[in-house]
Chains A and B, each alone.
Chain A
Amino acid sequence: MKKPVLTLAMGLLAWQAQAQGTCATAVPIQLGNYYVTAIDGSQAPTTICTGDAVVGQHGRWYSYTADQDTSITITTDLPQNAGGDTRVHVYTGSCGNLVCQAGDDDSGSGYLSITTFVVEAGTTYIIAFDDRWNANGFTFSIQNAAPPPPVNGFIAQAVPITGSAYCIVDMNADGLDDAVSVSSTVININYQNAGGGFTNQQHTTTPADYLPSWSLCAGDLDGNGYNDLVYAGSGLTFMLANNDGTGYTELSHPQYIFCQRSNLVDINNDGLLDAFSCHDVQPNVYYINNGNGTWTWHQGGLGDQPDGGNYGSIWIDYNNDGNLDMFIAKCRGGNSPASIDELWRNNGDGTFTNVASAANGLADFQQSWSSAWADFDNDGDMDVMIGASSFSGGGHKLMRNDGTTFTNITAGSGFDLFNGTSIEFIARDFDNDGYVDVLGGGGLMHNNGDMTFTLTTVPCSNGPTGDVNNDGFVDVQNNNTVYLNAGNENNWVKVITQGTLSNKNGIGARVEVTTPAGTQIRDIVSGDGFRYMSTLTAMFGLGTQESITSITVRWPSGLVDVVNSPDINSTITIVENGTTTGVSSVPATALSLFPSPAHNTLHITGPRDLAGSRITILDATGKTVALVPAVQGAIDVESLMPGLYMLRIEGPSGTATGKFIKE
């Protein structure tokens, strides 16, 4: 039942019909109901706060200034709008720089919209409706509301993005995951604040030859301590972070590639990250890192079907031999051999052999674009759920790893009854119960712990994942909405791997967490699922376990580090040096060493006070060579023999390492 005052407000607004046509003329409104005659304003919102990025032709603009810290609901899901179709965007900022705070398309009944968001007293929120779907008139309501409750375990929060929001990874080397989106000339990073929330910063780049149309992956390609980005479109563009992570240099490779999944991985195990890309219509390709800022193009040896069919590559160690293998989820119509999945076993000598076969159940015509690898039964080896993108070539397949062979255990697992298809399937422990779940196909398949899975509803679809509020639970980003995992009582631990002999990120490392309940494993992967890049931090759920016996990292170099009795519910940074230790749970910070090669003096820079620090130089085998005093951030290295060294600083603010070469 409408109150008279609102009717009055409606009349007033109708009189002002032409005033709502642009952001600059947005009409201030109070709480109440408002009638929009039609979406006919000349300015359509171009910053889209809903998933579908298509811009409408016209808009209607309003503004609301909050008078208290509370939450607000804007809804068109009203009886008088039955059959209607609306879309709404909510911003802060100025008309020249609108920043999404909320937005909704179809959360209401039918195609109507509802959005609830937190407001701060004194802040003005700009509200824009557009005619993406139609221009018809409707009524909307703006009311105070309870804080948005978690929906099926997730709380939605808007974040500003630019272009493709395909990446959650730590970009400023503070140990916290950041949310990255990119366009041709902008790298937009929502840096996670140590105390929660984000600081948004946009870095301008030269125009990328290729956009991450098909996928994006990240890692520290040049080993300078800051993660770089790889855009996979019709070729690969590298965006290389400078030595303090404040700017990016574009390097686009000339070769045409019909890219699909891309990965960063040290293919030849020389300690340098290489870039791999699936090729849709040709054999797969990769760029081997020469270590001097150049990369050498290769095609062949890692999936050589002449007409491709390569969609979802993922690099894991399936046979626990310490060498990183690659599985390719493949797809192609017409019972083509290009659709037969491949498992490339790393022979440890620089060669790979496809060991997928009809016998082990991996080589068939199932149409897949990605696969979710994890030790679903916690028996010490990587199992796989190969998700169907279409059921035309067969259904989802849950394959149990029995050491070197696989057994199809789909029947009765729940995946046999799951009718959602997708190009995206990823393995994460969303509820930290110690059993890895599968997200994809429009639902979350919860691992019951006995190799059966139960479909649960989640508000998000697939996107990049990580921990963007540092609470130890896996969050998911869908475009400009971050779905924060509301968490539960379960314990957890996060492990950041810092390679020294191995690549800087420790990509390809096997991380084992042992508790009294048993051992869980993760492989550090750059690029899983089909399109997105997710955190390089290994996230483990511990369930009700109150202690960790040990964490073991088996590095690509062959070194093994063991950390005994680390804290639960903390982030453990493990630096590769082949020792058994306890470590600080304070995240390591970035360290820059120059010049490298060094002759007499090595300079140390980084956000670090060296006073009270212990500085160690280790050789390439991880053996301590010297304990040295630092004088004004400089170290005398004249007496060292020529070679590769690691420098480690342990101090009140944690541990940091860097590599240098002595000439």
Chain B
Amino acid sequence: MRPTDDPLFVFLLDQMNRKGPVLIAVGAVVAIFLGCRKDEALPPGGVEGGTPVSPVVLDLGSVPYPTLSQYHFFEGLMADLEPATGVLPYTPITPAFGDYAEKYRFVWMPAGQKASYVADGQALEFPEGAVLIKTAFYPKVLPTLERRILDTRLMIRKGGTWVFAEYVWNEEQTEAYLDMQGSNVPLTWADENGLPHDVAFRIPSEGECIACHSRYDERVPIGPKPQNLNTVRQYPEGPMNQLAKWVAAGYLESGYPAAIETVAAWDDPQESLERRVRAYLDMNCSHCHNEGGFCGYRPMRFSWSESADPAALGVCIPPDDPFAQGVDYIVHAGNANRSMLYYRLSSTEEAVRMPLLERTLRHEEAIQLVADWINSMPEPCP
């Protein structure tokens, strides 16, 4: 998603237009606060000596809380999703597809705690108490065409691992409740052209969370990798590189490499088809199709750092299980129809579709991208 398409950015711009000076002033105060808080033990919330303090309440002994509101991640009406002090928005360069739901992502860390760089393609090493906050919504849901927030997913760094906490929003949009059992929310959303689409939006159970967020049997975040963050994002205070912003906010150790192998934006027409496909596969597929991933036993290696090799993408490699008649290679060069990758990305059948989780609808733009990429390959498979 390009920054200008980011609904949060649009929202913030809108806010700035209306009360810009106030927000900018707040931002400046936040910067001051963030700059000095390292040395102070501050109570949660309120103002200490005129400096705003993050109101977020995180008692690691009692998380996950029964309700989302107990964390105080958001200011004002919770459904406005306006981040509280210390709750920093971020946006992956190529975001994961989730049945066309839009998502806001935030990070919060306890006072004085910082993440550190590990590798371009590995999630940052987060400190104890760090929280990743992702909220999914459709901007227009029938019949009222109002925004409907579905869930807020937390990953809380605790005891050297990650705790998953799934909060399901009520219909009144006043509260979200902890529910690790999973559920389906049937609704009809309208796209930007006003066309209605039915979806049974899947709110994952804990097992489904783990399926994607695990590597070598350890729980891991997917989005916040340097390769996915290393781009300029719009903030209320102005544009800034996200990694630099994290450093400025006190959330990332400085000193990470100056040159970072950075993913393409999957929908950037200036990029090559191959780089766009690789970026898409990295974000949507590589957590499983990776050494140590859920489906690491299949031959594909979809992470950005490995997928420059055609064999890692399955080009002219037969699938382990050729269950679809006539679909004879993972990627049949020059022939998308004969490619298992295209076949499974195109399917909505439960046991055929890829990814198996997080998708029940066809991602039409991505399917077209993959078809264009495969069909543009000049050399046929031997």
Contacts and interface: CB of A to CB of B under 8 A. Distances in A.
Interface stretch (B242-250, B270-278, B304-312, B317-325): B317-325
B350 interface: yes
Contacts of B211: 258, 280-281, 307
A213 B210 CA distance: 21
* Secondary structure dominating the interface of A: loop
Contacts of A133: 326, 335, 337-338
A211 B350 contact: yes
Contact of A279 (B207, B214, B290, B324): B207
A392 B208 contact: no
Most buried by B among A106, A307, A442: A307
A380 interface: no
A285 B90 CA distance: 39
B350 A389 contact: no
Contacts of B338: 133
Contact of B181 (A87, A256, A308, A333): A256
B205 interface: yes
Interface string A166-199: 0000000000000000000000000000000000
Given A333-B295, A334-B291, A111 B326 contact: yes
B297 A390 contact: yes
B217 interface: yes
Contacts of A214: 350-351
Contact of A308 (B207, B215, B322, B325): B207
B182 A256 contact: yes
Contacts of B181: 256
Interface in B190-210: 205-208, 210
A392 B297 contact: yes
Contacts of A111: 326
Most buried by A among B205, B293, B351: B351
A332 B349 contact: no
Most buried by B among A54, A105, A213, A367: A54
Contacts of A308: 207
A333 B350 contact: no
Nearest to A334: B292
B298 A334 contact: no
Contacts of A281: 205, 207-208, 210-211
Interface residues of A, number: 44
Interface string A361-392: 00000010000000000000000000001101
A421 B217 contact: no
A51 interface: yes
Nearest to B325: A51
A51 B206 CA distance: 36
A307 B297 contact: no
A421 B326 contact: no
Contacts of B325: 50-52, 105-106
Nearest to A530: B321
A22 B323 CA distance: 30
Most buried by A among B293, B321, B322, B335: B321
B294 interface: yes
Contact of B321 (A233, A306, A338, A422): A422
A132 B182 contact: no
B162 to A, nearest CB: 13
A501 to B, nearest CB: 37
A282 B207 contact: yes
A337 B298 CA distance: 17
B298 A390 contact: yes
B263 interface: no
A463 to B, nearest CB: 11
Contact of B216 (A51, A233, A334): A334
Interface string A326-347: 0000011111111100000000
A331 B297 contact: yes
A101 B338 CA distance: 25
Interface in B168-227: 181-183, 205-208, 210-211, 214-217
Interface in A308-358: 308, 331-339
Contacts of B349: 213
B66 interface: no
Contact of A393 (B297, B321, B323, B350): B297
A258 B292 contact: no
B288 interface: yes
A111 B349 CA distance: 25
Interface in B85-144: none
A334 B217 contact: yes
B315 interface: no
B326 A307 contact: no
A234 interface: yes
Interface in A234-286: 234, 256, 258, 279-282
Nearest to A282: B207
A646 interface: no
B296 interface: yes
B327 interface: yes
Contacts of B296: 333-334, 392
A508 B211 CA distance: 33
Contacts of A538: none
Contacts of A50: 325-326
Interface in B331-347: 335, 337-338, 343
Nearest to A52: B325
Contacts of A282: 205-207
Most buried by A among B181, B343, B350: B350
A423 interface: yes
Interface in A419-473: 421-423, 442, 461
Contact of B324 (A52, A213, A256): A52
Nearest to B350: A213
Given A52-B325, A256-B205, A333-B293, A421 B214 contact: no
B292 A333 contact: yes
Given A214-B350, A281-B207, A334-B296, A307 B324 contact: no
A148 B125 CA distance: 65
Contacts of B291: 333-334
A132 B208 contact: no
B362 to A, nearest CB: 13
Contacts of A336: 214, 216-217
A233 B360 CA distance: 13
B321 A334 contact: no
Nearest to A331: B297
B381 to A, nearest CB: 12
Given A256-B182, A333-B295, A52 B207 contact: no
Interface of B: 181-183, 205-208, 210-211, 214-217, 288, 290-299, 320-327, 335, 337-338, 343, 349-351
Interface of A: 50-52, 54, 87, 105-106, 111, 132-134, 211, 213-214, 233-234, 256, 258, 279-282, 306-308, 331-339, 367, 389-390, 392-393, 421-423, 442, 461
26 contacts: A51-B326, A52-B324, A52-B325, A52-B327, A106-B325, A132-B326, A132-B337, A133-B337, A134-B337, A211-B350, A214-B351, A256-B181, A306-B210, A307-B207, A307-B210, A307-B211, A307-B214, A331-B297, A333-B290, A334-B214, A334-B294, A335-B216, A336-B214, A339-B297, A389-B297, A390-B299
Given A258-B208, A281-B205, A306-B210, 15 more contacts: A51-B325, A54-B343, A106-B325, A133-B326, A256-B182, A256-B205, A258-B207, A258-B211, A280-B207, A281-B210, A331-B297, A334-B214, A334-B215, A336-B214, A390-B298
- 4 closest pairs, A vs B, by CB? A333-B296, A281-B207, A51-B325, A334-B292
